[in-house]
Amino acid sequence: MATRVSGLGPLSLNESMSLLYKPDWDRTKANMRAWWAHEYFGRCALAITAPRSNPPSRPAPPQPQTLEDQWYDLDAIAVRNDYEHSFTWYGGEAIPMWHACYPGIASIPTMLGCPFKLDMHTGWHDPLLTDPDGFDIRTLRLDEKHPAYRYHMDVLRRAMVETPGKSFPSMGAFYHGGDTLAALRGTQQLLLDCIERPAMVRDAEDWLMEMWCEFYDRTYAAVQGPQQGSSCWMGIWAPGKTYTVSNDFSYNISPSMFRELFLPAIERQTRFLDYSIYHVDGIGAFVHVDALCELPRLQALQILPGAGKPSPLHYMDVLKKVQTTGRNLHISIPPEEVRLALEQLSARGLYIQTWCQSEAEGKQLLADAEKWSVDRG
């Protein structure tokens, strides 16, 4: 018999499947359907990773020694993915994601021609549009022959070979909106542009969002398969088109400038997607939460204070503001803070990402979360 989630209809028989590294995949998908619909399914959404209690007997793959090994050798990347998944327990709503990491190789700024530098840990862009007196964004086009574009599609094709019956393919992390423009212009120059030529910035945002939507559709089509739905770098599954919306550049600007120059393109992006969560990265970006919560098609916000900052629970006023507006809330906290979070926040629409030292500890936390969770509306 098909499993029913309140208000969402039955799961069809051809959706029923488990994954080698996620045996309760059907239940996870049902819970995530309820979460996206802001329905309560008996506890908060809780994604726990931990070392497996019964890992296979197999040697660890060799550590990458060159940039080619680290970022481009898809055979080696496939081995590392499979090794990580086989040694990890994915509890609750955590899912095994197949990816090639996200250093910026396959990002839209790279595909548009931004000079790109790469090391063994990450990558970064140098500006492409460097004229201090302005720029013409409409001269740029995505080139399907660009090595970064081909690499992106190669990774997706390999993911679709490796994941069926085992794990889930990530669409990647390919930038959008203000962060793409910041890469093209450079952060300092874009700050000046926002003051000196705001109309040009708004036009660029519109143009880049049109480009982004077209590129997303190609990416989404490439990862459609038996697993159904989609996910990106954040690792949250949705039954349709989803992506983690963000604009890290907004950390540097006022709420009024954010509303005027960048919010319209973000609003368009949320209308384009079936399911969207906004990545509020850093306490300096918290000032934009009010504007974001006004977007009718934005279902969720991730509140992330940033490296070196206190726990998200230290900013309880921001967390409760998100919940008060009826949006879903995502936070990442250590396991010892889960009970405190559930004592203060509604479990309805709450997604907690955490990690445990063992599978047994993770299973106990999952059971405890059912007792601690309260639907506060």
Q: Please, what is the Cα angle at 251 between 211 and 329, to 5 degrees?
A: 80
Percent share of the chain, pLDDT over 70: 96
Q: How far is CA 193 from CA 136, 178, 197, 312, in A?
A: 13, 12, 5, 33
Longest CA span, the chain: 65
pTM of the model: 0.94
Helix axes 198-222, 147-162, angle to 10 degrees: 40
Residue 85 near residue 21 (C-beta atoms within 8 A): yes
pLDDT in tens, 310-332: 999 999 999 999 999 999 999 99
4 pLDDT above the threshold of 90: no
pLDDT in tens, 247-292: 999 999 999 999 999 999 999 999 999 999 999 999 999 999 999 9
8 pLDDT above the threshold of 80: no
pLDDT in tens, 277-287: 999 999 999 99
Q: How far is CA 33 from CA 196, 219, 290, 352, 372, in A?
A: 45, 22, 26, 16, 22
Structure tokens at 156: 């997706």
pLDDT in tens, 70-109: 999 999 999 999 999 999 999 999 999 999 999 999 999 9
Bridge partners, 302 (sequence order): 279, 330
What would the mean pLDDT of 8-24 be, rounded to a whole number? 65
Say how many C-beta atoms besides its own lie within 10 A of residue 204's C-beta. 27
- Domain layout of the chain by residue ranges: 4-372
pLDDT band at 9 (very low <50, low <70, confident <90, very high): very low
Within 8 A by CB and 6+ apart from 362, the residues are 48, 49, 50, 89, 91, 356
Residue 134 near residue 197 (C-beta atoms within 8 A): yes
CATH topology of domain 4-372: TIM Barrel (3.20.20)
Residues 206-244 as b/e (b if ≥16 CB within 10 A, e otherwise) read: ebbbebbbebbeebbebbeeebebbbbbbbbbbbebbbb
Structure tokens at 278: 């906004």
